[in-house]
Amino acid sequence: MTRLFFDSSALFAGVHSIRGHAHDLLRLASREVITLVVSQYVLEETRRNLATSVPESLVFLDLIVKNVPFELIQPTKRDVLAATRYVALKDAPIVAAARKAKVDFLVTLDKKHLLGRPELARYIRAEIVTPKEAVIHLTRVS
Protein backbone atom coordinates (compact mmCIF):
# COMPACT_ATOMS: atom_id res chain seq x y z
CA MET A 1 0.00 0.00 0.00
CA THR A 2 1.31 3.45 -0.88
CA ARG A 3 2.36 5.52 2.12
CA LEU A 4 2.08 9.31 2.07
CA PHE A 5 3.15 11.80 4.69
CA PHE A 6 0.79 14.79 4.79
CA ASP A 7 2.32 18.05 5.94
CA SER A 8 0.21 20.81 7.48
CA SER A 9 -0.44 22.59 4.18
CA ALA A 10 -1.84 19.42 2.60
CA LEU A 11 -3.99 18.58 5.62
CA PHE A 12 -5.26 22.18 5.78
CA ALA A 13 -6.21 22.04 2.10
CA GLY A 14 -7.91 18.66 2.47
CA VAL A 15 -9.98 19.86 5.41
CA HIS A 16 -10.82 23.27 4.00
CA SER A 17 -11.91 22.24 0.49
CA ILE A 18 -13.82 19.12 -0.49
CA ARG A 19 -13.02 19.75 -4.17
CA GLY A 20 -9.26 19.50 -4.13
CA HIS A 21 -6.77 16.69 -4.57
CA ALA A 22 -5.78 16.81 -0.90
CA HIS A 23 -9.38 15.96 0.02
CA ASP A 24 -9.35 13.18 -2.57
CA LEU A 25 -6.34 11.68 -0.78
CA LEU A 26 -8.15 11.92 2.56
CA ARG A 27 -11.06 10.00 1.02
CA LEU A 28 -8.72 7.31 -0.31
CA ALA A 29 -7.16 6.99 3.14
CA SER A 30 -10.57 6.70 4.79
CA ARG A 31 -11.26 3.74 2.47
CA GLU A 32 -7.80 2.35 3.33
CA VAL A 33 -6.62 2.47 -0.28
CA ILE A 34 -3.54 4.40 0.87
CA THR A 35 -1.88 5.02 4.21
CA LEU A 36 -1.67 8.62 5.36
CA VAL A 37 0.97 9.40 7.94
CA VAL A 38 1.04 12.57 10.04
CA SER A 39 2.75 13.72 13.19
CA GLN A 40 1.33 15.41 16.24
CA TYR A 41 3.15 18.54 15.06
CA VAL A 42 1.20 18.45 11.77
CA LEU A 43 -2.12 18.04 13.59
CA GLU A 44 -1.36 20.91 15.98
CA GLU A 45 -0.08 23.23 13.26
CA THR A 46 -3.11 22.50 11.08
CA ARG A 47 -5.45 23.16 14.00
CA ARG A 48 -3.72 26.49 14.74
CA ASN A 49 -3.83 27.59 11.10
CA LEU A 50 -7.49 26.66 10.71
CA ALA A 51 -8.39 28.43 13.96
CA THR A 52 -6.75 31.59 12.66
CA SER A 53 -7.96 31.48 9.04
CA VAL A 54 -11.19 29.48 8.90
CA PRO A 55 -12.31 28.49 12.41
CA GLU A 56 -15.56 27.04 11.07
CA SER A 57 -13.44 24.27 9.47
CA LEU A 58 -12.21 22.98 12.84
CA VAL A 59 -15.24 20.71 13.13
CA PHE A 60 -14.25 19.10 9.81
CA LEU A 61 -10.70 18.57 11.06
CA ASP A 62 -12.08 16.75 14.10
CA LEU A 63 -14.28 14.56 11.87
CA ILE A 64 -11.40 13.75 9.56
CA VAL A 65 -9.05 12.89 12.41
CA LYS A 66 -11.75 10.66 13.89
CA ASN A 67 -12.59 8.88 10.62
CA VAL A 68 -9.33 8.64 8.69
CA PRO A 69 -7.01 5.94 10.03
CA PHE A 70 -3.90 8.13 10.10
CA GLU A 71 -0.66 6.56 11.14
CA LEU A 72 0.89 8.84 13.75
CA ILE A 73 4.67 9.19 13.77
CA GLN A 74 6.73 11.11 16.30
CA PRO A 75 10.31 12.10 15.43
CA THR A 76 12.80 12.47 18.24
CA LYS A 77 14.54 15.74 19.05
CA ARG A 78 17.64 14.22 17.53
CA ASP A 79 15.74 13.48 14.30
CA VAL A 80 14.53 17.08 14.13
CA LEU A 81 17.99 18.51 14.79
CA ALA A 82 19.45 16.30 12.05
CA ALA A 83 16.83 17.62 9.61
CA THR A 84 17.94 21.22 10.24
CA ARG A 85 20.95 20.50 8.01
CA TYR A 86 18.50 20.47 5.09
CA VAL A 87 15.66 22.84 6.07
CA ALA A 88 14.87 25.70 8.42
CA LEU A 89 14.02 24.79 12.00
CA LYS A 90 10.30 25.50 11.45
CA ASP A 91 10.15 22.79 8.73
CA ALA A 92 12.52 20.33 10.40
CA PRO A 93 9.78 18.50 12.39
CA ILE A 94 7.96 17.78 9.11
CA VAL A 95 11.07 16.57 7.31
CA ALA A 96 12.19 14.47 10.30
CA ALA A 97 8.78 12.83 10.64
CA ALA A 98 8.55 12.07 6.90
CA ARG A 99 12.01 10.48 6.94
CA LYS A 100 11.25 8.43 10.04
CA ALA A 101 7.90 7.27 8.60
CA LYS A 102 9.57 5.68 5.56
CA VAL A 103 6.90 6.93 3.20
CA ASP A 104 6.74 6.88 -0.58
CA PHE A 105 5.75 10.54 -0.82
CA LEU A 106 5.80 13.71 1.25
CA VAL A 107 2.66 15.58 0.17
CA THR A 108 2.83 19.36 0.52
CA LEU A 109 1.81 22.65 -1.01
CA ASP A 110 4.92 24.43 0.35
CA LYS A 111 6.64 25.65 -2.82
CA LYS A 112 9.03 27.92 -0.94
CA HIS A 113 10.62 25.41 1.45
CA LEU A 114 9.86 21.83 0.38
CA LEU A 115 8.84 21.35 -3.26
CA GLY A 116 11.53 21.29 -5.94
CA ARG A 117 14.31 20.32 -3.53
CA PRO A 118 15.93 17.09 -4.80
CA GLU A 119 18.52 17.07 -1.98
CA LEU A 120 15.68 17.13 0.53
CA ALA A 121 13.88 14.30 -1.26
CA ARG A 122 17.10 12.26 -1.11
CA TYR A 123 17.39 12.92 2.62
CA ILE A 124 13.78 11.93 3.26
CA ARG A 125 14.10 9.01 0.82
CA ALA A 126 10.76 9.92 -0.73
CA GLU A 127 9.44 12.06 -3.52
CA ILE A 128 8.12 15.46 -2.47
CA VAL A 129 4.92 16.15 -4.39
CA THR A 130 1.77 18.23 -4.43
CA PRO A 131 -1.57 16.57 -3.70
CA LYS A 132 -2.34 16.69 -7.44
CA GLU A 133 0.92 14.92 -8.30
CA ALA A 134 0.20 12.27 -5.66
CA VAL A 135 -3.26 11.63 -7.14
CA ILE A 136 -1.79 11.39 -10.64
CA HIS A 137 0.78 8.87 -9.43
CA LEU A 138 -1.88 6.80 -7.67
CA THR A 139 -4.11 6.70 -10.76
CA ARG A 140 -1.17 5.46 -12.85
CA VAL A 141 -0.41 2.70 -10.37
CA SER A 142 -3.96 1.35 -10.04
| Eight-class DSSP state of 93 | H
CA distance 135 to 86: 26
**Residue 142's pLDDT is what?**
64
Mean pLDDT taken over the chain:
97
- The sign of the CA dihedral 4, 7, 9, 14 is positive
Residue 11, SS3 per DSSP: helix
**What is the dotted CATH code of the domain comprising 3-141?**
3.40.50.1010
Asked if residue 141 has pLDDT above 80, the reply is no
pLDDT in tens, 54-96: 999 999 999 999 999 999 999 999 999 999 999 999 999 999 9
**Residue 67's pLDDT is what?**
95
User: How do 105-107 and 35-39 pair as beta strands?
Assistant: unpaired
Q: Is the model's pTM score more than 0.75?
A: yes
